[in-house]
Chain A
């Protein structure tokens, strides 16, 4: 059955199909370096998908293959049902890419370069649409400026304008906020959300966990060329999230009573705080037992708080191979 499914091409795309379907993708460069090994990944229509991973994990290789900049070694990718190799025209027409590096033509004007991109992707001129993009990206006043006169943040936006110039259904943002100041980063997030509302599927790679946490619907973690996890952000946070209970003690403790000693319970150096780590998913969190034990020993506390682990902490533990 499975075999038959894979033979049945070309497939009709429907709203429930993934907009991008990567299967068995691997890439070994001429140098012998294996950047990707057998990657399977589905991107849902209309979502914001964040691909997280340390440097050299294969994020850019994966994006470059989907966008046609790098040839895959094995495997295949469908973009809205179109094979990216055999049916590259249809596939590429619906994809926009904002690469990581700020690469622009220094001597061109903003207006010329964005219109050039639209033509390159096979669309007739549409000045009204380009005007709208430039206004959305606050670039309209700079439309006649040469790109080399713009600031780094503006150049980044010019590259986004180029990627959007042909009205893509899928937008890849490779490290969109690398080297961008905080204010601009917020603007960028706002813009990405607006794009999603207009129906564009967005795949972004990032180093900033904060960014994924803030924006993504789903998160994929890539490490050493393999996708080690794909999960809804909320589920991921819940599933792998550890909570910490901090108790501020009435009077400092010199040491924990022997029967309370465990890996989950730590006493701060000055003895004024107890930190208890527990798993939000397990049925028995152990909090009640802990509190009973404390009162049995006559340890009072004046305040308590709980804290959920951030995505960053989850991510670090995943990549180190300790879920």
Chain B
């Protein structure tokens, strides 16, 4: 195991985070605060509580998930896309490192950043609304698993993308709609029966539901199913990354 290489990649990526502090941490915090002001305070005050949870508190887990999904994908995809774009990937390819070490370095850094952002948003949210966390252990488990899974997913997108446009298109056109329709701002039980069925095909539903359960003990789907689905996505992304390195897809001629 080339531990020095993992450390080098991890610290390099984290240094990029600190260097672009405004953009990488301040902006997600700002946009989340805006959501709280609009949905939590302005609109939320006129809404009834959902399953005994005030609307402002209800959207907290969904908002954190929303940020984690988008941030994990954009960080991890950008992290591996840039060396491809500038050509510095030659060094990575010529270094004595395995695929696993490369992934631990890049995905580890992206996931770390997401966890930091998630935690900051959690603290920021506390300034706007009152909430409690019933199952802190599971809350942290969901947070970490989701960060890793979607950082892996971002890594795959970064490898796949051969233009900045492609880098943007998946987060913007697929992930954001799925996150919005995945019950971040509402319970899917509020949907007509047909759309409830459709919603079950949306992977984000399981993530948000499980995460919300860890806060308030209420969930759209059984928490066991949520956890199982989260692991399933993790495995799917691992398989994707494994395939990429096995075939050298888009990184090696």
- Residues on A lying within 8 angstroms of B by beta carbon are 29-30, 64, 67-71, 88-93, 95, 97, 99, 101, 103-108, 112, 115-124, 162
Contacts and interface: CB of A to CB of B under 8 A. Distances in A.
B7 interface: yes
Interface residues of B, number: 25
Contacts of B93: 67-69
A116 B16 CA distance: 13
Interface stretch (B42-50, B94-102, B150-158, B173-181): B94-102
Contacts of B4: 118-124
Contacts of A67: 93-94
Contacts of A107: 16, 19
A103 B88 contact: yes
Given A101-B87, A122-B2, A69 B95 contact: no
Interface of B: 2, 4-5, 7-9, 11-12, 15-16, 19, 86-88, 90-97, 248, 252-253
Contact of B94 (A97, A119, A124): A97
B149 to A, nearest CB: 26
Contacts of B11: 116, 119
Contact of B8 (A95, A104, A119): A119
A39 to B, nearest CB: 16
Contact of A68 (B5, B19, B94): B94
A99 B90 contact: yes
A171 B97 CA distance: 19
A92 B15 contact: no
Contacts of B88: 103-105
6 contacts: A89-B2, A89-B96, A90-B96, A116-B8, A119-B8, A122-B97
Contacts of B92: 120
A103 B87 contact: yes
Contact of B86 (A95, A97, A106, A118): A106
Contacts of A121: 4-5, 95-96
A112 B253 CA distance: 29
Contacts of A122: 2, 4-5, 95-97
Contacts of A108: 12, 15
A89 B101 CA distance: 12
Contacts of A119: 4-5, 7-8, 11
Closest 10 pairs (CB-CB, A-B): A119-B8, A103-B87, A92-B96, A89-B96, A67-B94, A120-B95, A122-B2, A69-B93, A119-B4, A70-B253
B86 A105 contact: yes
Contacts of A97: 90-91, 94
A99 B83 CA distance: 14
A88 B95 CA distance: 9
Given A119-B7, A121-B5, A92 B253 contact: no
B253 A29 contact: yes
A70 B89 CA distance: 12
A81 to B, nearest CB: 15
A103 B86 contact: yes
Contacts of A89: 2, 96
A30 B88 CA distance: 22
Contacts of A91: 96
A71 B86 CA distance: 21
B253 A30 contact: yes
Residue among B7, B93, B96 having the largest count of chain A Cβ atoms under 10 Å: B96
B81 to A, nearest CB: 13
Contacts of A106: 86
Contacts of B248: 71
Given A121-B5, A124-B4, A112 B15 contact: yes
A120 B9 contact: yes
A69 B7 contact: no
Contacts of B96: 88-93, 121-122
A317 to B, nearest CB: 33
Contact of B95 (A30, A92, A101): A92
Nearest to A93: B96
A162 B95 CA distance: 12
Contacts of A116: 8, 11-12
A97 B92 CA distance: 11
Nearest to A94: B96
A67 B15 CA distance: 28
Question: Could you say which of B90, B94, B248 has the most chain A C-beta atoms within 10 Å of its C-beta?
Answer: B94
B90 A69 contact: yes
A64 to B, nearest CB: 8
B15 to A, nearest CB: 7
B14 to A, nearest CB: 12
Contacts of B97: 120, 122
Nearest to A95: B94
Contact of B90 (A92, A93, A103): A103
A71 B9 contact: no
A69 B5 CA distance: 17
A170 B155 CA distance: 32
A92 B11 CA distance: 22
Contacts of B19: 107
A124 B7 CA distance: 10
B8 to A, nearest CB: 3
A107 B91 CA distance: 17
A291 B92 CA distance: 65
